[in-house]
Structure 1
Amino acid sequence: MSNSPESPTLFPEFFTQCLKSQGIDTIFGLVGDANLFLMDHFTRQPGNRYVSVTHEASAVLAASGYARATGRLGVATVTHGPALTNTVTALVENVRGRMPLLLIAGDTAVVDRENVQSVPQRDIIMPTGAGFEQVRAPETVGEDLAVAIRRAMLERRPVVLNLPADFQWAPVADATLPEVRWRSISAVAPDRNEMDSVSGLVASARRPLILAGRGAIEDRSHKAVVELAERLGAPLATTLQARDLFRGHPHNIGIFGTLSHDVALDVIGHADCVIALGASLNRWTTVEGGLLQGKRVIQADRDPECLQRFQVVDATVLGDVEEVVRALLADLDEIEAPSTGFADEALERRLEARPAVVHPDWSTESTIDIRTALVEIESGFETDRTLVLDGGRFLPEVWKLISVQHPTDYIHTTHFGSIGLSLGNALGACVASEKRTLLVTGDGGFMLGGLADFQAAVRHNLDITVVILNDSAYGAEHIQFRRRDMDPALSMFEWPSFAELAKVMGAEGHEVTDMESLRAALAAVAARRGPALIDVKLDPEKITRIDA
């Protein structure tokens, strides 16, 4: 598209066309005077979807949930000044999580010196670790947009596209649509010298174990990794964020790290070689490096930032996981390396025979035990679901007891260690997927970052069920007081009835104090579609050892 100077295009129309040319058709946001007319024009075009939220942080978080669920670029928009400062925590979360996002931020017009909402927006963004691209002029917005998208995808982090408010009604005389500067990187073949080193270590291993991370969850990579495991006779494990990747495989030992079960820990202890594929080997996966002690460790990843970032290993190879595995399989066949038999029928029987974990039921007359509740939710909620978890003291138990069908169904929200970031992610994930979304949060996290935008789930009629594990306290702080024999009153709160608030907002609400009411709530949720909330009452004194 190109217009003559005699018939200039107005900026909102041109910007929408630029977004479309870059494949952007879904935006999460909150409008104000610096982005209002841009989004108005965007929403009026067929095929576009604008999902409004009630807090700017939720716009960024929803874009993140959408990106994690789809693998596409997540896009958000906010206005200037305090709207942008409201996104800081969400931006840091996604910088830490290495999530490519585009945040289209309106900015105060340069000539509007005394505007009360004016702040130096670049200076706000840079400390978060996000990138920043300035729209230089109405005519350059297409190029600036394409550059911002390219940076977000290549740098794997949020990038803010800063757009002055006074551009919104500017004419664009030379409205030439930008070229797409980003294409998916094709599979990267590994270096031959690096592969020789890796193949030699693997061939000499007697008890190899394969550890797959988020970088190995694509179907083609998954298939190759399973083939390698069966060729080597190696057990399969995953990181937390690749959880349930090998669901159903007879030699799947589950999560490698602080969440490992007893059989998995025994297998890890006996392994002499760990082949880490698409896994960064962080402190929780390796238990501060302890689970790798005395083992040869090989690390392969297409992202150079992940190689030896947390652990010094014996061999690394930069390359696409499938390409690395295929090269390794060829090398093993060429030298006729035998199967190790480390993953054998005995291991299969041990895994099958693992008894269900028996835990004490600490339910009271007015509260339900957290583990008892989670076991019931695991079996009573639709299996094919998207799972979003907030931060909180309950997390280890939810990780252990609530599963997903595939790692892409799990949305991780605690890269920054903040509570209150899950509802925004759930909005985006639910928009992206036809699956039901199960959000598990604490009461403090819901009040901090979920209550306002639960209304957004109602307004857009999103199929999100929020389960609040409600101990009327900030649990991490409560337990610290108790461990020092101190009064935990500062950590405790009397909240309003979450079930009644949900109903007032137009959603379904249930208060759960025992198994009967929990089963009734799950049955009611299963019988309908749309937003729902289940408030599970817990006793904070009965979960003081949950993180032990």
Structure 2
Amino acid sequence: MTAVEAAGEPVEERPVWQHIAAAVAAEDVEALFGVIGLGNMQLAVHLASEYGVAYYPARHESGAISMADGYARATGRPGVCTVTAGPGLTNALTSLLEARRSATPLVLLAGQSAVDNPADNQYLEQERLLRSVDIDVEGYDGAAGIPGTIARTFSRARRERRPVVVNLPLDLQHTVVALPPEAQAPQSTGTTQAPADESVQALAALLSRARNPIVLAGRGAVVSGARSVLEELADRVGALLMTSGPAKGFFSGNPFSIGVAGGFSTRRALQHVEQADLVLCFGASLNPWQTQHGKLFPPNARLVHVDTDPDAIDRHLKADLGIVGDVSAVAAAVVKELAGRGVRHTGMRTEARTADLRAFGAADEWADASREQDLDPRTLTARLDAMLPAARTVASGDGICFGWSILGLSVPDEQGWLMMYGFQSLGHALGAAIGAAVGRPDRLAVATLGDGGLMMALSELDTAVRVGRPLVVIVYNDSAYGAEVFHLTHHFGGLPTDLVRFPDVDFAATARALGCQAVTVRKEADLEAVRRWLEAPSGTLLIDAKVTPEVWADWMFS
């Protein structure tokens, strides 16, 4: 910022793209991810050279968005990305939808062809396209309005927890204007939504009578920062704790946590859930994945659903009691009401159940199905979980292998788990792990993906090498689109699977050619090379794990 800007006087005339850079820098942006083209090159270069914003170039726009997405989830700060016009934006769409479905705060600065030049090869009605897939676009009134829009865009991304796009037409970017310093929009996270008194009293009454309650926390609980107050509530009424898939890690370390709810619940967890007479859902959607299509909870269990969005309540499952309000505010009010009533129960925390949880944790046992040429994916995951440092960020996606990682890899907290599966599309985990490595260098970044997903993001191995942060890429390589093999075999009458099977690819050799370190794993002894790398981790290590195909888990049938 110049002395004239600091004094609050009008700045000198300069191109709008320079004003935009100043507005972005004013948001304390530390990292910018992207792919540079004609529509954004001056902006990106100026942010890096004049404002010291670290720029991380991806090889593909989809990877760039995933990097910004992973950075945001791992740090809690908005991810910031830039792409060029037309194909730059269309290449980014799938990853944008992943961020949208996963409620990631993200700002995309998208170049755009000049508004008066529809003959341009890269011309596209970008706003119309984005809105058609539920991606929000922040508008402005002419060239002079663009810089002031930036602060509003960042504020919305933080407050609404969604990607917000600013389209930047080239002709407007190059317009020379003089602007007074824009008043920055307040960086509000929204006001706390307090629950109605009668709702709190109704919930307290249910808890007073319940003897086997379960607390289920979702993304809304994470956003609210509600762990401590939910644990206080659970302690008072003797509840066991669960999370939705995206909130995995939220109760890490709590001895009464029984893992993830729904299709990824372990058999041991289900034995406890079957005894529930009251389920308290805080900020989770209760979608079919989270509830095993409505069959997870006993039919006679009462259901309470707390959410800031009134439309979320009863959307998937009918609640006996719906409460609109912030998770922390509702939980704190109920704890206070219960204390006033003198309510404190042992609930689900009997000596026998506590001993069972302590002895076995949340994991299931399995009969190892490893063969001479490949390794059971459950065994692989368990061995890697024991080897990887506790301070880790795991970015996971991609079909069947996602199930092994969500069940078998532990994380220190909810920011250590990046569930890149909101849109159920392949190829996002690698970029997200790179973004996490940038944002949280204090933790080892880990990407888990299948061979199909890696093929879709293979170019970003080069990005990982250039970024240079320690990163582990675990490839569950079954030489197939494993989920499609399963569905063709079990859900479609045993149809042939040859169209979704592929020759075995030597990903280790490919990774080495791109500058990674790599190891091929076919048996447990091969993991010794991983252990040695972990003694002094540096650069990118790719583990090409040849896993036993057609090891089907319970969740695949749910």
**Which TM-score band applies after superposition, normalised by the shorter structure?**
over 0.9
Query: Which of residues 309, 332, 338 in structure 2 aligns to 1:332?
Result: 338
For 2:120 and 2:225, the matched residues in 1 are separated by 53
Normalised by the length of structure 1, the TM-score is 0.94
Query: Which of residues 390, 406, 430 in structure 1 aligns to 2:397?
Result: 390
Aligned equivalent of 1:164? 169
Amino acid at match of 1:127: S
Change (3 A) 1:116 1:360: same
Q: How many angstroms does 1:459 deviate by?
A: 0.9
Indicate yes or no: 2:423 matched with 1:416: yes
Query: Which of residues 195, 207, 211 in structure 2 aligns to 1:190?
Result: 195
- The question of whether the paired residues in 1 share the 8 Å contact of 2:20 and 2:150 is answered with no
For 1:532 and 1:498, the matched residues in 2 are separated by 11
Deviates more, 1:347-356 or 1:429-438: 347-356
Structure 2: unaligned runs, 5 residues or longer = none
Change (3 A) 1:188 1:84: same
Aligned equivalent of 1:502? 511
Aligned equivalent of 1:223? 228
Aligned equivalent of 2:459? 452
Change (3 A) 1:62 1:171: same
Residue aligned with 2:465, SS: helix
Alignment deviations for residues 282-312 of structure 1 (CA, whole Å, 9 cap, x no partner): 2122222223321111122334453333222
Alignment deviations for residues 376-426 of structure 1 (CA, whole Å, 9 cap, x no partner): 111112221000112112222222111111111000111111111111211
Alignment deviations for residues 32-85 of structure 1 (CA, whole Å, 9 cap, x no partner): 001000111000134412111111111221111111111111111101011111
Alignment deviations for residues 203-225 of structure 1 (CA, whole Å, 9 cap, x no partner): 22232222222222379521111
Give the length in aligned residue pairs: 546
For 1:52 and 1:414, the matched residues in 2 are separated by 23
Query: Which of residues 445, 455, 459 in structure 2 aligns to 1:437?
Result: 445
Change (3 A) 1:188 1:486: closer
Change (3 A) 1:179 1:218: closer
Amino acid at match of 2:301: K
For 1:236 and 1:384, the matched residues in 2 are separated by 22
Indicate yes or no: 2:353 matched with 1:347: yes
For 1:542 and 1:397, the matched residues in 2 are separated by 11
Alignment deviations for residues 67-111 of structure 1 (CA, whole Å, 9 cap, x no partner): 111111111110101111111111221222122221111110123
- The question of whether the paired residues in 1 share the 8 Å contact of 2:70 and 2:431 is answered with yes
Q: How many angstroms does 1:524 deviate by?
A: 2.2
For 1:541 and 1:194, the matched residues in 2 are separated by 48
Amino acid at match of 1:523: R
Query: Which of residues 84, 98, 102 in structure 2 aligns to 1:97?
Result: 102
Residue aligned with 1:28, SS: strand
Q: How many angstroms does 1:342 deviate by?
A: 2.9
Q: How many angstroms does 1:324 deviate by?
A: 1.5
Amino acid at match of 2:349: A
Residue aligned with 2:380, SS: helix
Deviates more, 1:409-418 or 1:283-292: 283-292
Indicate yes or no: 2:24 matched with 1:19: yes
The two structures, once aligned, show a CA RMSD in angstroms of 2.3
Aligned equivalent of 2:324? 318
Query: Which of residues 66, 81, 85 in structure 1 aligns to 2:86?
Result: 81
For 1:300 and 1:519, the matched residues in 2 are separated by 47
Residue aligned with 1:27, SS: strand
- The question of whether the paired residues in 2 share the 8 Å contact of 1:107 and 1:162 is answered with yes
Indicate yes or no: 2:246 matched with 1:241: yes
Deviates more, 1:239-248 or 1:479-488: 479-488
Indicate yes or no: 2:28 matched with 1:38: no
Residue aligned with 1:533, SS: strand
For 1:40 and 1:281, the matched residues in 2 are separated by 44
Q: How many angstroms does 1:455 deviate by?
A: 0.7
Residue aligned with 2:45, SS: helix
Structure 1: unaligned runs, 5 residues or longer = none
Indicate yes or no: 2:300 matched with 1:294: yes
Residue aligned with 1:528, SS: coil
Change (3 A) 1:480 1:239: closer
Q: How many angstroms does 1:485 deviate by?
A: 4.3
For 2:261 and 2:64, the matched residues in 1 are separated by 33
- The question of whether the paired residues in 1 share the 8 Å contact of 2:444 and 2:470 is answered with yes
Aligned equivalent of 1:260? 265
Deviates more, 1:412-421 or 1:127-136: 127-136
For 1:307 and 1:21, the matched residues in 2 are separated by 38
Q: How many angstroms does 1:4 deviate by?
A: 4.9
Q: How many angstroms does 1:273 deviate by?
A: 0.9
Residue aligned with 1:217, SS: helix
Q: How many angstroms does 1:330 deviate by?
A: 1.5
- The question of whether the paired residues in 1 share the 8 Å contact of 2:398 and 2:425 is answered with yes
Q: Percent identity between the aligned chains?
A: 32
Deviates more, 1:120-129 or 1:256-265: 256-265
Aligned equivalent of 1:281? 286
Deviates more, 1:413-422 or 1:108-117: 108-117
Aligned equivalent of 2:526? 517
Query: Which of residues 62, 65, 74 in structure 2 aligns to 1:60?
Result: 65
Aligned equivalent of 2:214? 209
For 2:198 and 2:224, the matched residues in 1 are separated by 27
Normalised by the length of structure 2, the TM-score is 0.92
Query: Which of residues 124, 132, 140 in structure 1 aligns to 2:129?
Result: 124
Residue aligned with 2:72, SS: helix
Amino acid at match of 2:275: H
- The question of whether the paired residues in 1 share the 8 Å contact of 2:385 and 2:410 is answered with yes
Change (3 A) 1:454 1:534: same
Alignment deviations for residues 153-206 of structure 1 (CA, whole Å, 9 cap, x no partner): 344322210111123333221242242243122433222122122222222223
Deviates more, 1:24-33 or 1:178-187: 178-187
For 1:113 and 1:301, the matched residues in 2 are separated by 45
- The question of whether the paired residues in 1 share the 8 Å contact of 2:66 and 2:435 is answered with yes
Aligned equivalent of 2:378? 371
Amino acid at match of 1:177: E
- The question of whether the paired residues in 1 share the 8 Å contact of 2:470 and 2:537 is answered with no
- The question of whether the paired residues in 1 share the 8 Å contact of 2:263 and 2:555 is answered with no
- The question of whether the paired residues in 2 share the 8 Å contact of 1:198 and 1:316 is answered with no
